[in-house]
Amino acid sequence: MRWLALGWCDFTRAPLIGLFYGTAFMVMGWTLAAAYRNAPAYVLALSAGFLLVGPFLALGLYQASYRLERGEKPALMDSAMIWRNRLSTMGVFGVVLLVLEMLWARASLVVFALSFDGMPDFQ
């Protein structure tokens, strides 16, 4: 439970950042749920993509944590724009994740097509 207490302490020190990222990830979850209702075949690809792109999106949380460890007050704009300082490495990382996501999207559709005879009824 120590990690939970430390996480709460960090949240109270920077609540705006925690709420911003929490809301962003919640909206992504809702989007995934909406995709499941409207296009179930794409859910495998999207959920894997969420896991692949997650580290890239969490870069701002890493920056906020770094500032808190140093005893500084993190700022939302600093957290959201941290990728600017590492544009070349983040660009390479983003391209690698994008390629992996596109490969997985195609592979998951093939697995889906081979696993089911036609479109299954998800009701």
pLDDT digits (tens, 9 = 90+) for 93-123: 778 877 887 888 788 778 877 887 765 555 5
* Contact yes or no for 60/17 (Cβ under 8 A): yes
State if pTM tops 0.95.
Answer: no
Angle at 51 between CA 60 and CA 63, to 5 degrees: 10
Instruction: Give the model's pLDDT for residue 71.
Output: 92
Higher-confidence residue of 118 and 62: namely: 62
As a whole number, mean pLDDT of residues 58-83 equals 88
Q: What is the pLDDT at residue 120? A: 58
- Which one of 48-52, 74-78, 105-109 scores highest in mean pLDDT? 74-78
% of the chain residues with pLDDT over 70: 88
> What does the pLDDT average to over 50-69?
81
Distance in angstroms (rounded) separating the CA atoms of residues 117 and 123: 16
